[in-house]
Every structure is written in C-alpha cells, then in structure tokens.
Chain A
Amino acid sequence: MKKSDSKRQAILDTAYGLFRAHGFEKTSMAEISARVGGSKATLYSHFPSKEELFVECVMSVLQNYMSGTLKYLDAAGPDPERALVRFGASVLRFICSAEQVEVRRMVIAEAVRSGTGKLFFNKLAALRAQVSAFLFECMSAGTLRNDDPELAADHLGALLEAEVLEPLLLRVRDDSPQEEEIDRAAVRAIATFLRAYAPAETYSTAARAC
C-alpha cells in the first residue's frame, strides 16, 4: 500500500468511527484531522468536503464487503440459482447487521439535509451495474427470460429485502436475524425471482411433460 493510500484508509476508518459515534452533523473535519494526525490541509487534499468523506467512508465499507459477495456471481455455473441464493444471503447478512442498519438510518437521515443522497446513489450505481451485468449474462445464456437487466436487478434487491429490512430499520425488532432466518428469506426471494424471470421455455417444457 502506498503511503498516501494508507493515509487515505486511516482517514476513512477514523471518520467512519466518528460519524457512527456522533452522527454527521456533530462530527467536524477538524476533529477527524486531529484524530488521524496531520494537517487539515492533508485531510482536504484527500477529501474536499465532509459530505464527500461521509459518502466515501460508508461506501468503502460496502464495497469492501461486496467485493467478496460478488464473487458468488462470478463463480456461477450454468444454473444461476445456487449462486443467487449465496449472493442474496450474503447481501442480507450485511444489510441486516446492527452496524449497517444504523449506518443506513444515518444515510437516509442525511440524504436531503446535507445533500449526500445523490452522491450515494451515484456511487451505488457501480455496484448495481455489476449485478445487472450478471443478470444480462443469464438472459443472454437463456437461463433468465429477456428483459431489462437493470429492472431485474431492482426487483431482485427488493425481493431480498422484503421480509427483513423494514422491521429492522424502524426498530420494530432490535435483534439481528439469525443465519437461518436470513437463509430462508434469501431462498424464498430467489425462488420468487427465478419464477418471475424464468425463460418462457421452462413453462412450455414443463407443460409438455405433463
């Protein structure tokens, strides 16, 4: 790791901790810079504003985790089901963790107030694109029906979150779901998704077989 990269990472780690502990508004660039050590000028040379630093430190945690999760899709064989279930369960484990639920609340709270929502959305587009690229491949290979891969990615994400996310975000429950619950939700979501996006062939073949 280059010296400037390790500095950048140190800033991201420190900022992430402070934002989580005190919230966006009560965390200042001066405090971050003091904790990391070095001048404020150095901090600003890495991140031009507190808003951008906030988005970057949340995104870097997400990207770091997702780089492992996306490997399930890369390793998918001719049948996408297994890969999608693994991918889905892995995504759910991340977003249902107590830490990420809190971070998501903060991101949503600040989205409009500090104007960081659009920045986030643009950064998230890169991750979404990787999922839709995978779905596009499935459509080209005929394992999913032809449709808009970006729409399919939105539907896939929504189905995954459907059972578990909202009660956590609204703190209807405090406990993070157990592995088993997450796996069940992922299996059901992927089953619905695969039926919804099944190639037309599957149905006619099944009907003929009867």
Chain B
Amino acid sequence: MKSKTEAKRQEILKAAAEVFREVGYERATMSDIRARIGGSKATLYNYFPSKESLLLEVMHHARELELQAVVAALDPEAEDVRKELLRFGQAFLAVLYSPETIATRRLSIAESRHTEIGRVSFERAVLPAEKKVAEFLRAAMKRGALRTADPKIAAMHCLSLLESELLQRMLLGVIEAVKPETLTSAARRAVTAFLSGYAPAPASAARN
C-alpha cells in the first residue's frame, strides 16, 4: 500500500512541477494540476492540502537530492584545498545553474513575501551548503592552509564568489543555459579570488 501511495504522490509532484514551470506559481491552479493526473480534487487535496504545500515539495525534491550529494562530497580532510574547492565549485554550479534550479530559485524568491517558501528553501538548501563549506574551511584554517578567520563568513564569501559571474544573468533570464566549460572557468576564477583573499599571511608562510 505504501508504495502505491508514494507512487501517486510522486505523480502529483511531477505534474505540479510541470504546471508551475509552464505558467508560474501564481497562475497555476490546483485544477490545472488535477487535470494532468486525473482523479478527483479530493484525492489531490488529500495528498497536498494547498498549492503552497505542493510547491514546497516540488521545489525541494529535485534540488535537495542533487545538492545534498554535492555538499556531502566535499571532503574536509582533502589535502589539496584548491583542487577540492574547484571540484566542489564546479559541481555546485552545475546544480545551481540547471534550468530547474534557477526556476525554483526564482520562484522561492518571488513567493517568499507571502509564504514560508523562502525560509524552507533557505533551511534545506542554503544553510546545509554554508555549514559544510564552513566545516571544510575551518579544517583548512587549522592546518594553516588558509588564514585564520571566521569560517562561517569565509563560507559565505566563497559561495557568493562562485555565484558571482552568472547567477544574476540566469535569474534575470539573460542566459538560459550555461556550457560546462563556462561554468568551469567561472568556478576557477572564483576559487582563485577566494584563495588569494584567504591566503595565509605571508610572514607565517615564510616561517613554515
């Protein structure tokens, strides 16, 4: 029974994701979504009591899994800080700049005024990434590979630099897709800037 319920749930989420993408959250109606999957409106409401609850699940389902994997793969024990940050940065941007993630991000910013969507999105997606990067940077600072600073702030600087070249263009719809090589070079430039910004002080480097 559980698998049948879960299958229905997934079917609804898939249909809702399509409708939201096609007409936007505001214009989408529960009836549009029901029309895609068939069945009664009562069934739909049984699974998801509101359009908002549906949106939350749609948004986080796809994005969360991918992002979790990328974040989990960042290894605080990695010896080569630059290499590991580059690898992470590229994978992070590949998830961030997928058309689905951008549409989701646009939606969560747009709808956060009246709903809890923004908060949930922050807690599920932004915060875990910040925490993991901070953990990675703290370890690098301890080893003397980076200058000692507040790792939480450094993590925010790092993630923001990664997003710096293309996020605004994507959110504004100026570009719709990013080629892998563009993404790689943006990540490389961001990591280079970040590592110079947090390089160990020259004096201690000379002593070591």
Contact = CB atoms under 8 A, between A and B. Distances in A.
Interface of A: 25, 102, 104-109, 111-113, 115, 117-118, 120-121, 151, 154-155, 157-159, 161-163, 166-167, 169-172, 188-189, 192-193, 195-198, 203, 206-207, 210
A155 B194 CA distance: 9
Nearest to A198: B196
A111 B109 contact: no
A117 B174 contact: yes
Nearest to A102: B113
Contact of A108 (B109, B122, B157): B109
A210 B202 contact: yes
Contacts of A158: 160-161, 163-164
B67 to A, nearest CB: 15
A188 B197 CA distance: 11
B47 interface: no
A118 B173 contact: yes
Interface in B120-174: 121-123, 126, 153, 156-157, 159-161, 163-165, 168-169, 171-174
B118 interface: yes
Given A118-B172, A157-B164, A166 B122 contact: yes
A196 B196 CA distance: 4
Interface string B91-110: 00000000000000010111
Chain B: interface size category: 35 or more
A210 B203 contact: yes
A195 B106 contact: no
Contact of B197 (A161, A170, A193, A210): A193
Given A171-B112, A171-B113, A207 B172 contact: no
Contact of A112 (B123, B164, B173, B193): B173
A163 B156 CA distance: 6
Contacts, number: 114
B169 A170 contact: no
B164 A111 contact: no
Contacts of A206: 202-203
Contacts of B109: 104-105, 108-109, 169-170
B112 A192 contact: no
Contacts of B202: 203, 206-207, 210
B157 A162 contact: yes
A151 B188 CA distance: 12
B16 interface: no
Contact of B190 (A111, A120, A155, A197): A155
Contacts of A104: 109
B199 interface: yes
Contacts of A109: 106, 109-111
Given A111-B172, A118-B174, 8 more contacts: A118-B172, A154-B164, A155-B164, A163-B153, A170-B109, A170-B122, A188-B157, A195-B199
A105 B122 contact: no
Contacts of B165: 151, 154
A169 B203 contact: no
A138 B83 CA distance: 30
